A = this chain, B = another copy of it.
């Protein structure tokens, strides 16, 4: 039984909507094409899929009636399976993108995790990690900027272009934050020096920072 407040779109992971979204943008795509486009664009802010997952997602969308496929045979070429969005799929994509609950972005920042346990290593080593991170991000920033430029020239791609522009600015912000960390690391190390001792390996570790249980009341918010 469908209540009047049930969503007008099937319950699928955002990843499936990403694939369907690609189909709303273009003429029929093969799995191979979808993988390339996702890497080129969506990968900066949501998803850079494995090729096998793309094929699986397309198959699933078709089984749900949101997409349909046909096999294209051409002389001197391997057969390709081209997927196109259906009317049902277009409506579902539209409804999902308008009505889905707004969820906070999810970040997995491995570099920050390592800095979180920065008391385990010397400041110079931590800063080397951050410098390598900055180089990484500079590369990604340049790539996003170039792609935004290319995308801008493509009629109908105003929103993908906006996303790439956003990604470029996002990397700029990430670079600012990372550069600030270079000083923050020294400051934190100085701070820790006032409470540290030396362990068996001669590296700084904090003295009994106090048990979580004992201080949790203080930390409530």
Contacts and interface: CB of A to CB of B under 8 A. Distances in A.
Interface of A: 14, 17-18, 21, 24-29, 33, 36-37, 40-42, 45-47, 87, 90-91, 93-94, 96-98, 100, 102-121, 125, 129, 132-133, 136-137, 140, 143, 146-147, 150-151, 153-163, 165-166, 169-170, 173-174, 176-177, 180-181, 184-185, 187-189, 191-192, 194-195, 199-201, 203, 205-213, 215-216, 218-219, 221
B150 A45 contact: no
A73 to B, nearest CB: 16
- Which label, helix, strand, loop or mixed, suits the secondary structure of the A interface? helix
B42 A113 contact: yes
A156 B113 contact: no
B119 A166 contact: no
A21 B65 CA distance: 47
Q: Give the 8 A-B CB pairs with smallest separation, nearest first.
A: A156-B209, A156-B206, A173-B173, A118-B159, A158-B188, A21-B117, A158-B191, A102-B132
A26 B211 contact: yes
A99 to B, nearest CB: 9
Nearest to A216: B36
A108 B105 contact: yes
Contacts of A133: 102
B192 A159 contact: yes
Contact of A181 (B112, B155, B166, B189): B166
A105 B97 contact: no
A131 to B, nearest CB: 9
Contacts of A132: 102
Nearest to A147: B221
Given A177-B173, A212-B26, A111 B107 contact: no
26 contacts: A21-B113, A25-B117, A26-B212, A33-B213, A36-B216, A45-B113, A87-B200, A90-B205, A94-B201, A97-B117, A98-B120, A102-B136, A105-B108, A105-B110, A107-B107, A107-B170, A112-B166, A115-B166, A116-B160, A116-B163, A150-B219, A150-B221, A153-B218, A154-B210, A158-B187, A173-B174
